[in-house]
Structures are given as structure tokens and as C-alpha cells.
Chains A and B, each alone.
Chain A
């Protein structure tokens, strides 16, 4: 799963037009329950993704980086 595909899924879950620079604190669509749904989606595709790192993400791009980074760690 590449960066664009992940972003498209996050937009679908949040039912909003988001980009990698979208800030969690400034997007009303990214409330805590929606973020949990995003986490569930990412976790199913990136099993090593941790909740503590995910909650610390300030932008959508950071979430995607974290997920892709966890996949790279798994390969190493």
C-alpha cells in the first residue's frame, strides 16, 4: 500500500478532503472516534503500528509516515 492509497483511505474514513498537511487539531472531521477508525485501518495493514506513536501524530502525513515506517522496521 503506497502513500496515496493510504491517504485516500483516510479521506474515505473521515469523509473529508484531507491532504498530508492537514492538521489533526484543525480538522473537525478528525475527532477522536474517527481517529480510532483510522488507527484500526492502519493497524490491520501495518501490524506493528503502535497507538502511542499514532496519538502523537499532528498531521495526516505524520500518520502515514509512521505506518510506512513501521512496515520498514518489520522488514529489517
Chain B
């Protein structure tokens, strides 16, 4: 699905990260990984440390603290929030949805829409698209997105590849979107200056899957999945990002009439440094156009893009003068792309929990 919007602006990004930075190298040694292999792993992933929040902190807690931080930065009150999208794969409870458990702590009124999305990396940009629909339609003046995940760094005993526990970090990203008057000067199509391209590839859902969760394992498991847990097909992930998604990016640019050179920077899902370098190579772009900014955090799942923008956005060269491409892919499989004018967006920084 491709859509442009003329009455929607991205007001601010904020982030919550852990107080603790777990040294990837030191932790890897504790997990029994060979030093040489560990050094190569850190060099290729780029994750020198992983963000860890305090053990008693949940995604709901991060969302509440993140909104406090964001509301101070942009002077927005809870009563102005018409809808909340809470994005997580590690909810406070399965029943009820996490958004309801934090509604009062956030100060959101009874008229606010509360919507939870149980999805990973692509979901923040997907939620931004849904927020844009609500705002453009005049249903909401402002929509808040809070996207976060928790992660364990201790593999269960006997696992073959403990390296996979040295990739993900914990955090929460917040995005505030609001209504604006169309800018007749910008955009080629009736003032549209915010564009989304959402692509869904459910036929590849086995690429990242946790076979131990949900009702299907007990009620009607798929053949040959019994006893299997969290599984990632690394080759399929690479094929998806570098073949399917790269073509979707070029198609998206074609629809908007833009080229890589027209965009100031691309903020992609921070899956790892090597993947971003490979994606830049496929797109014939410089590494600096598609920066890796999450070396101290790890892959923060759906929080990845808002957290790195909150913490590094202000220092990115052309982000104030040219459109920015946001690019996320993963669990689903799915691709969520957004081209946005961030010239007046507040990059509110992060708080630590």
C-alpha cells in the first residue's frame, strides 16, 4: 500500500534506554564464546554494548516515562492525545492490552483510542502510517506512538548458538504526530509531503517465528515444529532485506518522484552494522547516507528507529534540509517505509531507566 499525506507532521521523537550497558565482549566471554569469534562478531554487528533496563521495568513503564520526557520537550498535555498506538512483542500482560494498563498513568482521557500492535521491527513505521490516517481524516489532532521491547541476554542451558543473545537491546521509542495545514509549496501531489509504503509478505512468516508461543503449538501445531522455540532464518532475512526490500525502496522512490540523491539520510532498522552496509551497497549509496547509530544499544526491535532519531537526529547532516527515508523490515515479514520532512521535528533525546 502506498499513500501520501498533506495534513500530518511528525512533531517529535523521544526514547527510553537502559541505565545499564552490557558489554557485548565481556558478556560473550561469560557465555563461553571463543575470544576470536567474539571479536569478529562485535566487529561485524557493531554492537559494542547492549541496552538493559532495570529488572523491574516493563514496556508499560518505559512508555509512561518516555511520554513524560517527550511532553516536557514539546509541551504537549495528555488531554491533547487522541490516540495511542502501543507497539510491543513483550507486553506487560497478554490480557489486557498494555495500553489500558498505563492509560491512567499517562493521563489519557476516556475519549482516547487505545490500540496495541503485537509486532516487531516494522511496526513503528506501520503505526505512524495508521496515525497519519487518523489525523488526515480529522479524527485525531495528535497521536502518540510508544514502541518498545524487552530482551533476555541469558540463553537457556544447552543452546547451540549463544551469539544470538548478543544482538538485541531493551528500549522504547516514542513518536508524536500531529495535524498541520497543507503546505502548498511542498510536494508534487497537492501538498503531500509525508509518504508511506507498507508491504506485507505473510508467505514468509516462518522466517522469524517463536513456535513456543500462542495457541497453535498446543491446539494444532504445524508439522515438524513441536519442541522448537524462537527461530530465525538468517539467510532469508538477508535475502529479504537486500533483494525484496531494496526493490521496494526503489519502487517507493519512483512513486514519489525522488531518488536516493534527493534524500538527506536514510534511517533504517538498526539490525546490525554489516546489514546496513550491505543495504547501502545494494542501493548504490554511501555508508554515511544509511548510518549505523545503535552501537551502544543493540537492535531495539520496533524502538530502533525512534530511539536513534531521538538520540542522534540533531547531528545528522542533511536531516533538516532534505526529506528523510525511514526504512524498517522484519517480523511478518513486512516492510514499512516512510519519507518525511523532519526539518521542524524535535529530537528530544533519551532518558534512562
* Number of residues from A at the complex interface, CB < 8 A: 17
Distance in Å: Cβ of A42 to nearest Cβ of chain B: 9
Whole-angstrom distance from the CB of A1 to the nearest CB of chain B?
16
**A37 to B238 CA separation, bound complex (whole angstroms):** 12
List B contacts of A50 (CB < 8 A).
243
Number of A-B contacts (CB under 8 A): 47
B230-267 Cβ-contact flags toward A at 8 Å (1 or 0): 00001100110011000000000000000000000000
Partner of A55, one of B36, B45, B239: B239
Of B44, B239, B284, the residue contacting A33 (CB under 8 A) is B44
Query: Across the interface, do A37 and B239 meet the contact criterion of CB distance under 8 Å?
Result: no
Judged by a CB distance under 8 angstroms, whether B40 is at the interface is yes
Contact B278 A36 (CB under 8 A): yes
Known: A36-B278, A40-B281. A52 touches B239 (CB 8 A): yes
CA distance A35 to B235 in the complex (A): 10
Question: Judging by beta carbons under 8 Å apart, are B234 and A32 in contact?
Answer: yes
Interface residue? A43 (CB, 8 A): yes
Tell me whether A51 and B243 are in contact (CB under 8 A): yes
Q: Given contacts A43-B281, A50-B243, are A15 and B40 in contact (CB under 8 A)?
A: yes
A58–chain B nearest beta-carbon distance, Å: 12
Chain A contacts with B in 11-28, Cβ cutoff 8 A: 15, 28
Given the complex of chains A and B, what is the CA–CA distance between A51 and B281 in angstroms? 11
* Interface size class, chain B: 20 to 34
| Cβ-closest chain A residue relative to B45 | A33
Report the separation of the CA atoms of residues A15 and B37 in the bound assembly, to the nearest whole angstrom.
10
Q: Which residue of A lies closest to B241 (CB)?
A: A51
Q: Chain A at the B interface: mostly helix, strand, loop or mixed?
A: helix
A43 near B282: Cβ-Cβ < 8 Å: yes
Given A33-B272, A51-B242, do A40 and B278 touch, yes or no (CB 8 Å)? yes
* Interface status of B275 (Cβ within 8 A of chain A): yes
CB under 8 Å from chain B, chain A span 35-55: 35-37, 39-40, 43-44, 47, 50-52, 55
A7 to chain B, nearest CB (A): 19
- Provide the residues of chain B in CB contact with A40, threshold 8 Å: 274, 277-278, 281
Cα A36 to Cα B45 in complex, Å, equals: 11
A55 engages B41 (CB within 8 Å):
no
B265-300 contacts to A, CB under 8 A, are: 272, 274-275, 277-278, 281-282, 284
Residues of B within 8 A of A36 (CB): 44, 238, 274-275, 277-278
Q: Which residues of B contact A70 (CB under 8 A)?
A: none
Minimum Cβ distance to chain B for residue A57 (Å): 11
Name which residue of chain A comes closest to B37, CB basis: A28
| Chain B residues near A35 (CB-CB < 8 A) | 238
Partner of B243, one of A28, A37, A52: A52
Q: Does A59 contact B (CB under 8 A)?
A: no
* Complex CA distance for A40 and B282, rounded to whole angstroms: 8
Min CB gap B340→A, angstroms: 27
CB distance from A32 to the nearest CB of B (A): 4
> In the complex, what distance in Å separates the CA atom of A40 from the CA atom of B272?
14
Provide the residues of chain A in CB contact with B235, threshold 8 Å: 32, 55
A26–B44 Cα distance when bound, in Å, is 20
Inside 8 A of A44's CB, which chain B residues have their CB?
Answer: 281
Q: A34-B40, A36-B278, A40-B277 known; 10 other A-B pairs, CB under 8 Å?
A: A15-B36, A36-B238, A36-B274, A40-B278, A43-B282, A44-B281, A51-B238, A51-B242, A55-B235, A55-B239
Query: A-B pairs with the 6 shortest C-beta distances?
Result: A51-B242, A32-B234, A33-B44, A43-B281, A36-B274, A51-B243
* Residues of B in contact with A (beta carbons under 8 Å apart): 36-37, 40-41, 44-45, 234-235, 238-239, 242-243, 272, 274-275, 277-278, 281-282, 284
What would 10 A/B residue contacts be, using CB atoms closer than 8 Å? A32-B235, A32-B238, A36-B274, A37-B274, A37-B277, A40-B281, A43-B278, A43-B282, A50-B243, A51-B243
